Amino acid sequence: MAQEYDAVIIGAGHNSLACAVHLAKRGWKVGVFEQAVEPGGAVRTGEYTLPGFRHDWAAMNLSLFAGSGFMKEYGTALAGQGLDFVPVDKPFTSAFPDGRWLGVSTDAAATVAGIRAFSERDAETWQKLAKAFPGEAAHIFALLGAPMRKRAISSFLWRLWRERGLGGALDMGRFLAMSPRAWLEETFESPHLRATLGAWGMHLDFAPDIAGGALFPYLEAMAGSAFGMVLGKGGADVMIRALVAELEARGGSVTCGAPVAKVVHRGRKARGVELANGTQVTARRAVIANVAPAALVRLTEGTRNAAFDERMARFAHAPGTMMLHLAMDGLPDWAAGEALKSYAYVHLAPSLDQMARTYAQAKAGLLPDEPVIVVGQPTVFDPSRAPEGKHVLWMQVRMVPGAIQGDAAGQITAADWVDAAEPMAARALDILERYAPGSRAKILGQRIVSPPDLEADNPNLVGGDQVCGSHHLSQHFLFRPARGYSDGSTPIEALHLTGAAVWPGGGTGAGPGFLLAQRLAGK
Ligand SMILES: Cc1cc2nc3c(=O)[nH]c(=O)nc-3n(C[C@H](O)[C@H](O)[C@H](O)COP(=O)(O)OP(=O)(O)OC[C@H]3O[C@@H](n4cnc5c(N)ncnc54)[C@H](O)[C@@H]3O)c2cc1C
């Protein structure tokens, strides 16, 4: 017998679940269908190395979710469903080849003292930026949380203009268009500080010279020092379990192991979906697809929307990520100092030039000779994720190509990831070993996750692209995923796209899902 819902949602990523919860609260009957055996998409936790060691499969930093508009409305309800965060007071640091380090923490005096050790002038500048941050944040977060509609954009511009005049509004526009390097070099003189902040652009695809990327190093620097970071208690999946429980409490359901094979439509209107096993599921009001844009074209074959389909098929993905999950006998002994053991992220990203080179290599299909490494140390703040005295490391190798054309170092001859994963992981561990000698000897278990592994697990991570689509200006704001469709609408009536490919984009902020639900439910 056909199942019937008001809304059928394809994929159980956190955006889908946030969307589902809000629609269910507005009285919609919602069914979510997920191809994997568990919900969460890029937010999952499991014992991927050894029993007792819990690793965040992908996202570890839940600050975006904790600070989201969705949490403002549903925080209390989700806490009632078991959502619990671990606050982090020392979010990030960078270690450098010269043995020095620089960290950002919520202890303002300590952060400034650390910067002063590199540059007196930069310490003064940092303090000025930190003081101005609340005023800037009000505008920036309002923009990042608003739908990309004429009214929201005009109201952002109007408020900015009224408060700061034309010059101030233009300054903000100029800043939003700047590359990380342009802003960092204009603002700070210390190459160490520039690199410490520039590393944040590499979490997206904002290598130092990409226009529009200055915002991310700026926001992570200021928000990291103002609020720290947030992890999920026991693992990032705590957030998914709470979302699913909240949805079920409101009458919705999540069905796992249920890949959706096509969107069923009659005329120009979506009516439901067909699962890979042939089950028909009817959607009375909406079909919502949390899929990569090119996958939407495949799901809607036969609907004849040539211009839209072409745009979705050409949607650009960012270079890939490789993950290393390590079960450790102890934390790395950082050569730069014991202090690094108390930070959530240690970036091994020594200079803007090196980051620019890595990005260019990955874009050209080359395995980078010196990739950026993000070493996550979640058990410093949440010891419950490992047996007593032991640790997990969450290592991100940024960035790597989804399809391999060669090796920038001329050492790895493998032409695909099946053979390249091990030697590339060894390269990443060599880098770790350089900054923290003896780390290899502390590894009790490891799991290497290549870009194709990420995509096989979750088809939205095309080529291992961790944010489902480049966030360069030509594909962000009004243009995410394409001009005219940043609100998740599609040319097919009652069919909507959500997830990281839609404005406001990747990360755990639940913006695409929540904004869509608000639009569909009339707020
Ligand atoms: C390695 C990695 C590290 C990251 N680290 C962070 C971090 O620390 N902090 C942060 O904020 N962000 C991080 N991100 C980004 C963030 O996790 C993602 O942008 C976000 O979780 C995406 O959520 P989503 O709901 O849009 O989609 P996803 O989480 O990608 O979920 C989509 C779901 O849809 C399912 N699906 C797709 N097609 C179908 C189909 N046809 N039928 C049924 N199901 C289908 C998939 O299986 C998947 O479960 C990271 C991402 C990765 C990959």
Cα separation, 315 vs 292, whole angstroms: 9
User: Residue 122: what residue type?
Assistant: D
Q: What is the pLDDT of residue 1?
A: 53
Residues in contact with ligand 1 (CB, 6 Å cut-off): 10-16, 33-36, 41-43, 58-61, 64, 259-260, 290-291, 295, 321, 323, 454, 458-461, 466-467, 499-500, 506-508
Residue owning the nearest CA to atom 48 of ligand 1 = 41
Cα separation, 381 vs 348, whole angstroms: 20
Q: Which of 100, 286, 265 is nearest to 190 (CA)?
A: 100
* Residue numbers in the chain where pLDDT is lower than 50: none
Q: How close is the Cα of 236 to the center of ligand 1, in Å?
A: 12
List, as one string, the DSSP characters of 216-228.
HHHHHHHHHHHH-
pTM: 0.97
Residue owning the nearest CA to atom 14 of ligand 1 = 59
Q: Which of 443, 461, 452 is nearest to 421 (CA)?
A: 452
Say whether 104 sits in a helix, a strand or coil. strand
Q: What is the pLDDT of residue 268?
A: 87
For the chain, give percent helix, strand, coil, nearest 5: 45, 20, 35
**How far are the Cα atoms of 88, 150, 475 from residue 478, in angstroms, in the given order?**
33, 10, 8
Residue range(s) in the chain whose domain bears CATH number 3.50.50.60: 3-37+256-315+468-521
Q: How close is the Cα of 458 to the center of ligand 1, in Å?
A: 7
Q: Which atom of ligand 1 is nearest to the CA of 321?
A: 1
Q: Which of 128, 87, 329, 378 is nearest to 229 (CA)?
A: 87
Tokens 């930026």 belong to residue: 129
Q: How close is the Cα of 43 to the center of ligand 1, in Å?
A: 6
Residue owning the nearest CA to atom 7 of ligand 1 = 59
Cα separation, 254 vs 20, whole angstroms: 10
The predicted-structure confidence for 5-23, as pLDDT tens digits, reads as follows: 999 999 999 999 999 999 9
The phi-psi region of residue 316 (left if phi > 0; otherwise alpha if psi is between -120 and 50; otherwise beta) is beta
Q: How close is the Cα of 34 to the center of ligand 1, in Å?
A: 12
CB-neighbour burial class of residue 135 (10 A; exposed 0-12, middle 13-18, buried 19+): exposed
DSSP 286: E
Q: How close is the Cα of 275 to the center of ligand 1, in Å?
A: 20
* Residue 318 near residue 421 (C-beta atoms within 8 A): no
Phi and psi angles of residue 268, each rounded to the nearest 5 degrees, phi first: -105, 25
Residue owning the nearest CA to atom 32 of ligand 1 = 13
Task: Determine the residue of 204, 453, 458 to mutate for testing ligand 1's pocket, defined as the one with the most ligand atoms within 8 A of the Cβ atom.
Answer: 458
Q: Which of 319, 310, 302 is nearest to 356 (CA)?
A: 319
CATH number for the 3-37+256-315+468-521 domain, one of 3.50.50.60, 3.30.2310.20, 3.90.700.10, 3.30.1330.30?
3.50.50.60
Q: How close is the Cα of 56 to the center of ligand 1, in Å?
A: 12
Q: How close is the Cα of 289 to the center of ligand 1, in Å?
A: 13
